[in-house]
Amino acid sequence: MTARIVIRNEWRLLMADRPLRLALGLFALLLVYALANGVVWTRFQESTVEVAQAGNVERALAIEQELTDIENGAEPASPFSDPRLPNVLGGRRGRHTAVLTPGPLTALAVGQSDLLPYYYDVNIYTNESSFHQSGEVESPLNLMVGRFDLAFVVVYLLPLLVLALSFNVLSEEREQGTLALTLSQPVSARGVVAAKLAFRALLVVGMVLAVSLAGILVAGDFGAPGRILLWCAAVVAYALFWFVLAAWVNSLRRSSAWNATVLVGAWLVLVVVLPAAINIAAGLLHPLPSRVQMVTAQREASNEAVNQRSELLARYLEDHPEMAEGVVADEPGLGALAWAATDAVNRRLEEVTAEHDVRRAEQIALVRRYRFLSPALLTQEVLIDAAGTGDARFAAFQSQVRVFAERWREFFVPAILASEQMNAGVLSDVPQFRLADEASADVVRRAGVPLAVLTGLLGLAGAGAGVGLGRVRGAD
């Protein structure tokens, strides 16, 4: 009953305040613009993925056509790209593009998807260094600035709106002298603040969630309810965190101006300064292993390998007896020799990269602990993970491509070693990449930790606010 009166009056007050009305309208506009931006990006990725998949089909058809023609007596178009050669069919000409379809909620959070590659060309020469090719040909300046997506609006701008709506939720009543009047009614300060903030929270969170759901509707993907729930939970928890923080600061019984300064200071520290400081501290305390070193080691590996081909072939056949069958023991073909060298380079690359990756994973694990210091970092992580544009999904994609490249080699290399020719009959057996996308449950489990910490921070601020408001009396 009281809550209803408070909420009705709050609505009238809000609508009477022109700057606030403006801020709310601007926020709604920015939300819609951010969503549109994200949708454009998703469409771009989708069309790229489609082109890549069409390319796979097209290449396969052209090769099938040429193989059939050759079987019917035609000459190959060029001796260098004769599709009967396994190193051509499995090489650049017959390559298969493995693609990662955009995450289910990419339109809401671009995340790392403009930085990390979402498609790789796989052929028999694919090795660790292929994974280090650049992502999109994006301007580095734009990458640095980042995208204007919903996640950005939520993480950076939403707190400011929340603070603008609630920095004086109690102090104003005191300054206008209405606090004593309000509290002379049978209500507690806690109840009044809760009702006022609940109304504002409903308004703000409702706007964000409505636009988010509209985005999911536009993208037409309700297939990941776990992710949608996770997204909503993170938005709600983060918004509530700022509301509760405002309530807590209000409970300290200082002036509205003091509240505003402290709250904006908190925003600055938690959203701008702390993440930037964490990034620099992480770089100093836990520097990532040198990439330059890895590149040089990769190069050294190739040098060694090429210098000792025939030796390598013997070693390769020892290691892979299953491949030896086709090789004529005393006169290995050129293809076999070349392959042995290629394989040796790949193995060495894998060693070098594995070592580098282990060290990098350790360092990143250390660096990631610091994110618990800032609710903005936590929220960002949950949001992009829910959207399917976080680091983890891309890492999973890359490791699946790695496995796929291995299968690809296993399919073509025996034929190369045996100097066999391929025909149209094998085309249907050529490996195809099938993405095993992470299950919603896995994402929820992974994002559960930061979300739990965020909720914990929310609880802490809530307890502080509860205790503080309990002490507020009308006579203050």
Q: Which residues make Cβ contacts (< 8 Å) with residue 130, sequence separation at least 6?
A: 120, 121, 405
CA dihedral 455, 461, 466, 467 (to 10 degrees): 130
Contact status: 303 vs another protein (CB under 8 A): yes
Run of H or E residues at 376:
helix 375-387
CB of 102 to another protein, least distance (A): 12
At residue 120, φ and ψ (nearest 5 deg) are: -130, 140
Q: Which amino acid is at 420?
A: E
Contact status: 182 vs another protein (CB under 8 A): no
The piece of 296-304, 308-316, 414-422, 466-474 that touches another protein (CB under 8 A) is 296-304
In this structure, are residues 228 and 446 in contact, taking their beta carbons and an 8 Å threshold?
Answer: no
CB neighbourhood size of 96 (10 A):
23
- Find the DSSP H helices in 2-139: 2-16, 18-71, 86-89
Give the max Cα distance, the chain.
Answer: 103
Candidate residues 376, 415, 416, 465; the one interacting with another protein per rule CB under 8 A: 376
Contact status: 398 vs another protein (CB under 8 A): no
* CA–CA–CA angle 304, 308, 314 (5° rounding): 125
At residue 110, φ and ψ (nearest 5 deg) are: -70, -35
Contact status: 428 vs another protein (CB under 8 A): no
Q: Which of 138, 351 has the CB closer to another protein?
A: 138
Candidate residues 64, 148, 191, 350; the one interacting with another protein per rule CB under 8 A: 148
Structure tokens at 213: 């759901």
Contact status: 273 vs another protein (CB under 8 A): yes
Candidate residues 235, 345, 377, 461; the one interacting with another protein per rule CB under 8 A: 377
Candidate residues 103, 332, 390, 414; the one interacting with another protein per rule CB under 8 A: 390
Taking CA atoms, 370 is separated from 125, 363, 468, in Å, by 39, 12, 29
Distance CA 278, CA 445 (A): 25
The piece of 232-240, 287-295, 398-406, 460-468 that touches another protein (CB under 8 A) is 287-295
Q: Which of 112, 400 has the CB closer to another protein?
A: 112
Candidate residues 64, 368, 444, 464; the one interacting with another protein per rule CB under 8 A: 368
Structure tokens at 436: 């095993």
Long-range contacts of 46-50 (CB under 8 A, 24+ apart): 46/101, 46/102, 48/118, 48/119, 49/99, 49/100, 49/101, 49/102, 49/118, 49/119
At residue 289, φ and ψ (nearest 5 deg) are: -60, 150
Q: Which residues in the 84-103 window bind another protein by CB under 8 A? A: 97
The piece of 9-17, 107-115, 347-355, 407-415 that touches another protein (CB under 8 A) is 107-115
Contact status: 381 vs another protein (CB under 8 A): yes
Q: Which residues in the 41-80 window bind another protein by CB under 8 A? A: 44, 48, 51-52, 55, 78, 80
Contact status: 360 vs another protein (CB under 8 A): yes
The piece of 61-69, 177-185, 257-265, 339-347 that touches another protein (CB under 8 A) is 257-265
Q: Which of 13, 361 has the CB closer to another protein?
A: 361
The piece of 206-214, 267-275, 343-351, 443-451 that touches another protein (CB under 8 A) is 267-275
Q: What's the sign of the alpha-carbon dihedral 386, 387, 388, 389? A: negative
Structure tokens at 113: 């998807």
The piece of 155-163, 220-228, 237-245, 458-466 that touches another protein (CB under 8 A) is 155-163
Contact status: 358 vs another protein (CB under 8 A): no
Contact status: 449 vs another protein (CB under 8 A): no
Candidate residues 260, 427, 430, 444; the one interacting with another protein per rule CB under 8 A: 260
Q: Which of 160, 187 has the CB closer to another protein?
A: 160
Q: Which of 14, 278 has the CB closer to another protein?
A: 278
The piece of 137-145, 176-184, 210-218, 462-470 that touches another protein (CB under 8 A) is 137-145
Q: Which residues in the 210-239 window bind another protein by CB under 8 A? A: none
CB of 220 to another protein, least distance (A): 22
